Homo-oligomer: A and B are copies of this chain.
Amino acid sequence: MAEYNTNLRLKLPITCIVMEVIVIILFAVFVRYDTDTDARKWHKEKSHDNKSNYENDFYFRYPSFQDVHVMIFIGFGFLMTFLQRYGFSSVGFNFLIAAFSLQWATLMQGFFHGMHNGKIEIGVERSGVHSLFVTGSIFTVRFTLTLGRLMLTLPSDKTVKPSVVPSLHQAKDAGGSMTIHIFGAYFGLGVTRVLYRPNLDKSQHKNCSVYHSDLFAMIGTIYLWMFWPSFNSAITAEGDDQHRTAMNTYYSLAACTLATFAISAVVNHEGKLDMVHIQNAALAGGVAMGTAGEMMLTPVGSMVVGFLAGIISTLGFKYLTPILEEKFHVQDTCGVHNLHGMPGVLGATVGTITASLASAEVYGEGMKDVFPDIYEGKTTPFKQAMWQGLSMGVTMGIASIGGILTGLLLKVPIYATPPDTMCFEDNIYWEVPGEEDSHQELAAVRTEEVEKPLNG
């Protein structure tokens, strides 16, 4: 059946090689080392400014850069291994897409946010931290799409969007509540709505975990949880801003975790905890801190936000996801709306409120880093808050429409799509090894049984 052709033999290699060759050509033309990475330029600046090698940006960004990598490659990769037969695809395709996206994002970031003399200059901050953000954005989108379907998501993300909606430049969103989570979630839901599979329940027996697959998934969850403070603080200004963003995210996540455990037990008829909630909703406190994390939200403010995020997210998994599927034909298999959508909206709302309260008394000279336009008198806290709120709405709109259009594009039957009965299954894309010995023994037991009558 042509429409169910999932053979990757030509499509995947051609896609990978063509994309990589394009990227390599663009790198050859546009990308150069930045000052902190280039031998000649760094030594020139060092002697000119009387700097020491210890002041190289590397030492102040690289640990966060690595933390964010662990989130992307281990965290998101293993988060989805909870499916009993989707571990290879989860970790493997996550690996492939991340490796491509970080290259692509370097180019996008450069094209839209600052060429120097026609060149994109890269170093650990630019190419690393910035582009990982983009990668994060892509993953959110990807989640809804990937379950057993080959995803060819365009990296439509925060690097592109601000250029489309110039006004949004003024909104602050360092940890990406809007540009990553809201955008990703509603884009993904848009795609999923169009690609609705009424017979997906034929694969439902695969859409569940086994004991050890849930433990693998917890590796993903815990790494995402631990390093979310690094993620939110990765591109905020140096000094107090990075410090404060990390601390706010940290306390938000802690409070969120308690809320998640509480609600998970209370909504279960036997009072048992549900691994799906723990694996996902406990992270909502990080999502909700994506906008206001760098602001003077106070530790207690962060905890209240995290606590609410955990409640909303867990309730969403329990009650909203089934409604979305039955009533709205949106198959949110991974709970993107619960982990990224609603907590993202909460985060953007908190950012709006917190911005409206910005005062010189609270921020002092630090206002310059957090709200430069207010500091320079170009805007007021009230107007800043308006931009924040507007930005949230515009992001949701663009994301939803973009998702629907992308979904329609993906319906063109040139892409490899598995049949409804083969979703959530590694076997269609991977050489899957034989089972544990027990299976062989089972086979042996059965064979004996069959053979008995013959022998008897």
Residues of A within 8 A of B (CB): 7-10, 12-14, 16-17, 19-20, 23-24, 27-28, 31-33, 36-44, 46-47, 53-60, 62-64, 66-67, 69-70, 73-74, 77-78, 81, 84-85, 87-88, 91-92, 95-96, 99-100, 102-103, 122-124, 127-128, 208-216, 218-219, 222-223, 225-227, 230, 237-244, 246-247, 250-251, 253-255, 257-259, 261-263, 265-266, 268-275, 278, 282, 296, 298-300, 303-304, 307, 361-370, 429-439, 441-442, 445-446, 448-449
A17/B432 in contact, CB under 8 A:
no
> Which chain B residues lie closer than 8 Å to A99 at the CB level?
253-255, 257-258, 282
B225/A73 in contact, CB under 8 A:
yes
A246/B31 in contact, CB under 8 A:
no
Copies of chain A in the complex: 3
A62/B62 in contact, CB under 8 A:
no
Mostly, the A contact residues are helix
Minimum C-beta distance from A435 to chain B (A): 6
Partner of A266, one of B13, B23, B58, B300: B13
Q: Name the CB-closest residue of B to A208.
A: B433
Q: Name the CB-closest residue of B to A251.
A: B103
B91/A215 in contact, CB under 8 A:
yes
A247/B127 in contact, CB under 8 A:
yes
Q: Name the CB-closest residue of B to A38.
A: B240
Partner of A244, one of B39, B212, B261: B39
B239/A122 in contact, CB under 8 A:
no
Minimum C-beta distance from A274 to chain B (A): 5
> Which chain B residues lie closer than 8 Å to A36 at the CB level?
240, 243
